[in-house]
Structure 1
Amino acid sequence: MDDRRQHSRHTAELHLEVYDLHTERHLGRVVDLSIEGFMIFGDCPQEADALLECRLVSYPPVEGLTEVRLGADCLWSRPGADGQHCWSGFHIIDLAEDQAVLLEGLLKRL
């Protein structure tokens, strides 16, 4: 597979969950994360090319950091080996300056 990432991804050692900002629907748990994107493992497949506004929520909060809000584009989604879960990859396309600072702080803790 052609790996075009410019930033290394970090395995999420924290418990990070992803929710749709508007519906509060749980999308999945973050498996790896970078300043450019993330991969999740969830119960429902995500639609490729779908644009989402998300909340990345840390359980428990890390040094006062509870969530990061961002816009993401689903690049791909594949079923898991058990046929009941799925893997999905996202590219971060919208990140306000204050949220970028929070994301960078979160990445330092991974």
Structure 2
Amino acid sequence: MEDRRKHSRHSTELQLEVFDLHSGERLGRIVDLSADGFMLFSDRPQMADVVVECRLVSEQVIEGVGEITLGADCLWSRPGADGKHSWAGFHIIDLAEDQAAALALLLEQL
């Protein structure tokens, strides 16, 4: 399968949780992150081809960054091996300039 990513992905030891911006519902935990997108590990399946507005929340504030708000498109979703969890890949499609700077700062720390 061809890798079309423009930016390298960074796995993270940080606890980065993703929440729906409007409902506040926890969507899952980020497994890896890039300037273009992220892979999510979730307790429930995510819907592919659905755009979500979300907050990435770090358990640790890094240089003033503890949260990033963005819009992302779920490109794919697959069940986990245990049948209870799921994996999903998201492409970041909406990111304000200040939020992009915050994401870049966070990526430097990974």
TM-score w.r.t. length of structure 2: 0.97
Task: Give the root-mean-square deviation of aligned CA atoms.
Answer: 0.7
User: Is 1:70 aligned to 2:70, yes or no?
Assistant: yes
Alignment of 1:23-102 (within 5 A): 23-102=23-102
| Cα shift readout 1:31-60 (whole Å, capped 9, x = no counterpart) | 000000000101011100000001000002
What CA distance in whole angstroms lies between the structure 1 residues aligned with 2:2 and 2:43?
Answer: 27
The residue type equivalent to 2:105 in the other structure is G
The residue type equivalent to 1:5 in the other structure is R
User: Unpaired segments of 5 or more residues in structure 2?
Assistant: none
User: Unpaired segments of 5 or more residues in structure 1?
Assistant: none
TM-score w.r.t. length of structure 1: 0.97
Runs of 4+ in 1 over 6 A off after TM superposition: none
Shift of 1:16: 0.3
- Residue in structure 2 matched with residue 8 of structure 1 by the alignment: 8
